[in-house]
Amino acid sequence: MARMFCNQCKYNLRGLTDHVCPECGAEFDPANVETFSKYGPNVLIETYQKVEPAIKLLAFIAFALLASLFAVTVVALVCVGSFL
């Protein structure tokens, strides 16, 4: 049996006796490939979209820590230089 996913919500339609997606109600015809998709949801993209805010937050924290480390280093060098 071919892979069949809802065009609207990507629900797995394989094995259904009714030709209506139980998830979103979209109709499909197993004999007409234009009424369904052969490709399911892209798990990698969906996972990335879920973790993207956390990745951005971690990148911001890392940048802030590096910037503060740089500032502390510059201040320390200026202070040491003024004593020489």
Q: What local confidence, expressed as pLDDT, does residue 47 receive?
A: 73
| Contacts with 20 (C-beta within 8 Å, 6 or more apart), sequence order | 26, 27, 28
pLDDT for 76: 87
User: What pLDDT, on a 0 to 100 scale, did the predictor assign at position 7?
Assistant: 92
pTM of the model: 0.49
pLDDT one-digit tens code per residue, 21-73? 999 999 999 999 999 988 887 766 777 778 888 889 999 999 999 999 999 99
Tell me how far apart the alpha carbons of residues 44 and 64 are, in angstroms, rounded to a whole number. 29
Give alpha helix (H) positions in 1-84.
43-83
Alpha carbon 11 to its chain centroid, in Å, reads 18
Better-predicted residue by pLDDT, 83 or 53: 53
